[in-house]
Every structure is written in structure tokens, then in C-alpha cells.
Amino acid sequence: MTSDKRVMNTTRRSFLRIGAVLSAMASVGKATAMSAVAPSSSAEVVVKDINPGKPFILTTWDFGPDANALAFKMLTEGRSSLDAVEAAINYVELLPDEYWVGYGGVPNEVGETTLDAMVLWGPTHDVGAVGCLKRVKKAISVARAVMEKTQHSLIVGDDATRFAARMGFEETSLTNITSQKRWEEWAKKGELSDAFNPEPFSEDALQGHDTVGSIALDAMGQLCVGCSTNGREFKIPGRVGDSPIAGAGAYGDQAVGGAVATGNGDVMMRFLPTYHAVELMRQGVLPENACKAAIKRITDRGYKFGGGMAAIRIDGEHGGAQSGWENEGFSYSIQTKDTATKFPVV
């Protein structure tokens, strides 16, 4: 992982502006969140004030508590939220028995596991992402390298792997016994990928899956958001899901907070739900209601899908929502100085 020094002495896209951003925030004693202006020249801009809270980290699903414990220790040591988000997601990416994130799971049609990941750094609104990354385990770390070392925001496929190797990442197989066996069992059936099924307007036959999303705020009030997944089982080779798309799998705004999503990314990415949720929070909507509204926008168009969202404001107010996962047990966990709690989403 990159040291804190890289976060503050940075690279391109003017990480040097961080000092100016933080000074401005300090001068007013709070972060000012303004709503997006409606498409009218006479539209009134609504201003909501959200006071920055204490350091926190939020991570989705059942692996959240352990990932948070590791990452929050870094926050207490003065490390950046970028380091914390990377560490939390790396923890999940490297779990040996996690089928839906990182190596060893969710093969595509030809039996290969590929990874999607994205990170967004709040102070400069900089983004780095990789899609359909092959043969490199730490997808979120490669996404960070895209953000810090290039002017690009998204690199995909074999070219993402070549970039990772150029940055010093090790190439290795992402297949293990579990993923190989699952693919062999499926291939014997001779079925097409369910990606060729009709759109899910009657039901969503996809299994639930555990995209990891993390949102952190550090002691300097710097926000970071990230997510990582190996995507949809038996997907068509080359498919990229919602996770590396800013505003789809994850989104954040330094003045407001962040949101992360998990579930049927092929449907959810069409509506940019995490962007929607953050913009609603900017207007003063509570995080839980913002997530509910973002999901309702999808279901109102007739989609039957499994998916969940979690969002947190920079003051620590948080909430989540889900669709079609009444029996899945979707949850997110938050750790702060005072508490470490898992929140089921119903």
C-alpha cells in the first residue's frame, strides 16, 4: 500500500489543492453542501450545512466488521481514509474462501475470474478504476495506482493487467479449486450464460453477491469511497459491472458523504444509484431515505432485481436500503472510536 505521504504530496490532478480545501473548510468551521441546481436558469440553490464528524469507516456485508477493525486502527494512527479504504477492501479481496470478491471465485463463461474496482478521493474528487482486470489480486490497489499515477480514470481488460504489471503488481492465477469446480459443473450443463436471459422485469434469477464497498473519513476530515468485486457468475467475457463506474457502484462528495451499492450491477448501473443517493443527501435527505429513493427509482421502472445500498454523511449519520433480498441478510458495518456495530438492512 502507498504511504500517507503519497496522499498529501501528490501526483497529478492537484492533490496539492487538499490544503486549500481543508483550509477553506476550517475557515467556515463546517462543510457546506449545496444541492444540484434543477435544469432552469432561475432555479434556486438550496444550501444545507453538514458538520464534519469524527473518523469512521463503513464496509458492506458480513466481512465488514473484520475489515473495519483493520482499517480503523490505521485511522487511529493518523493514516488517511484512502489508506483505510484500500486496506479494508484488500482484506476482503484476499480472503481465501470469499467467492464474490477477489481471487478464487465467480468465473466467467470460459472459466476465468476477472475483477472490477474503483476508488474516489473526496478532497479532489479524483477517481481511479479498473474493469475486467485479469491475473492481479489487489484490484483496489491497481485502481488507486490509476488514480495517483495517471490522468486516466478507468483502464480495462488485458490493458489493465499490463498497467498493473508496469506498476509492479504481481501477476498470478485468480482461479482456485472452488471457482474451477463451479465452472466445470456449470459447463457440463451446456447452458448459455444467464446474461442472455430476458431483462428482469418478472423476476431476477441472479444469486445475491457480496461486492465489498467501503467509505471512510479520517482525522483530517478527508473522505474516501471504494468498492471491489469479481462480478457476475458466468458472465460474458469482457463484461464490466457497476463497481468501477463512478456514481454506480460507489460515489462520494467531500462536502456531503458517500454511498456504495451491491447487487445486480447490470441493472443498477443504468440509474447511477450511489450518485443519486449522495445528491439527495446534499439536499438534506437522510441517508436511509436517500438509499430507498435511489432503489425505488429502479423498481418504479419495472425492474425486479436483488440489490442493496449503504450511505453515510460526513457527520456520521448513516442508513441503507435493499430490494429483492428479504432473505439474503444484506448488512453493513460501521466502526468509530466509540463503537463497532453491524446494521442489518430490511
CA atoms of 237 and 221, how far apart (whole Å) = 40
Q: Using alpha carbons only, what angle is made at residue 154 by residues 61 and 117, rounded to the nearest 5 degrees?
A: 15
Q: CA end-to-end span of the chain, whole Å?
A: 35
Spatial contact of 243 and 249, defined as CB atoms under 8 Å apart = yes
Q: How many residues does the chain have?
A: 346
Neighbouring residues of 100: CB distance < 8 A, sequence distance ≥ 6: 106, 209, 210, 211, 229, 230
What pTM, to 2 d.p., does this model score? 0.87
Map residue 67 onto helix, strand or coil. helix
Domain ranges of the chain: 4-15+54-340
**Tens-binned pLDDT, residue by residue, of the chain (346 aa):** 444 434 444 444 444 344 444 433 433 333 333 333 223 333 333 435 677 889 999 999 999 999 999 999 999 999 999 999 999 999 999 999 899 999 998 999 999 999 999 999 999 999 999 999 999 999 999 999 999 999 999 999 999 999 999 999 999 999 999 999 999 999 999 999 999 999 999 877 676 667 999 999 999 999 999 999 999 999 999 999 999 999 999 999 999 999 999 999 999 999 999 999 999 999 999 999 999 999 999 999 999 999 999 999 999 999 999 999 877 789 999 999 999 999 999 8
Read off the C-alpha cell for 27. Answer: 475557515
Neighbouring residues of 198: CB distance < 8 A, sequence distance ≥ 6: none
Q: Counting Cβ atoms within 10 Å, is residue 83 exposed (0-12), middle (13-18) or buried (19+)? A: buried
Supply the DSSP symbol for 170: P
User: What are the strands of the beta sheet with 307-313, ordered from one edge?
Assistant: 250-253, 257-263, 307-313, 318-323
Spatial contact of 140 and 119, defined as CB atoms under 8 Å apart = yes
- Give the pLDDT score at 64: 97
Q: Using alpha carbons only, what angle is made at residue 26 by residues 21 and 32, rounded to the nearest 5 degrees?
A: 70
Which of 10, 60, 161, 211 is the catalytic position?
A: 211
Q: Is the dihedral of CA 142, 337, 10, 29 positive or negative?
A: positive
Spatial contact of 229 and 211, defined as CB atoms under 8 Å apart = yes
- Give the pLDDT score at 208: 61
CATH topology of domain 4-15+54-340: Glutamine Phosphoribosylpyrophosphate, subunit 1, domain 1 (3.60.20)
Q: Which residues pair with 131 in a beta bridge?
A: 156
Neighbours of 105 (CB within 10 A): 25
Read off the C-alpha cell for 15. Answer: 492533490
- Give the pLDDT score at 205: 67
211 annotated active-site: yes
